[in-house]
Chain A
Amino acid sequence: AQKITQTQPGMFVQEKEAVTLDCTYDTSDQSYGLFWYKQPSSGEMIFLIYQGSYDEQNATEGRYSLNFQKARKSANLVISASQLGDSAMYFCAMREGILTGGGNKLTFGTGTQLKVEL
């Protein structure tokens, strides 16, 4: 079974509109972390936002927020006021086994290609 599922291969959004990128995850761990990374056409991986499984509030970083619904095992990324520069591939990722150590291993989803249009 996929540990991270991103069901939207591609998304379009109008400039200045908000967009939600979906991510669902599968884990039996009680302590885990969820991440979003952005990969523009230049190829680098840019960290956007992090949510810990025990964090009571949804994470926010500027125009990015993470809609964390633990019971549904979803961690959707919300980008407010989209800009042309937001056009990129977006990856959701999960780190399990935080309490047992073993390294900062991330499992990635297959990504969502976002295109922001005028």
Chain B
Amino acid sequence: NAGVTQTPKFQVLKTGQSMTLQCAQDMNHEYMSWYRQDPGMGLRLIHYSVGAGITDQGEVPNGYNVSRSTTEDFPLRLLSAAPSQTSVYFCASSYHRTQEKLFFGSGTQLSVL
């Protein structure tokens, strides 16, 4: 059972480049979300989805797009990367909208130069 799989683990971008962070889960979770982790600021919610075809914004959505075409996948897109988006990104999912436990991926360390 793979759980929540994030790719890539590391990425370096130049300002203005675009890229997609991939997230897939094999637990048939309804709920999926993206967080970013910055030093001294904990984890902050970027976007989330309560099911296929449904997405919504979190606390820090600017500069990021998401879509949820399948239950399994929830990619995060950076359309024009900025140095302020240098961070560690975590994807997380849970069985149900009100399930207590979030399962996290291993994270993607992104640097924007």
| A residues neighboring B (CB under 8 Å) | 4, 33, 35, 37, 43-45, 47, 50, 52, 91, 93, 95, 98, 101-111
Contacts and interface: CB of A to CB of B under 8 A. Distances in A.
Given A91-B42, A91-B43, A109-B42, A104 B102 contact: yes
Given A47-B102, A91-B43, A108-B44, 5 more contacts: A44-B107, A101-B50, A104-B102, A106-B43, A107-B59
Contacts of B98: 98, 101, 104
Contacts of B45: 105-107
A106 B35 CA distance: 10
A31 to B, nearest CB: 10
A35 B104 CA distance: 14
B74 interface: no
11 contacts: A50-B101, A91-B42, A95-B100, A101-B97, A102-B50, A104-B31, A104-B96, A105-B48, A107-B59, A110-B41, A110-B42
Contacts of A111: 42
Most buried by B among A44, A93, A105, A110: A105
A45 to B, nearest CB: 4
B25 interface: no
Contacts of A98: 98
A103 B32 CA distance: 9
Contacts of A47: 101-103
Nearest to A43: B107
B112 to A, nearest CB: 19
Contacts of B88: 43
B41 to A, nearest CB: 6
A103 B50 CA distance: 6
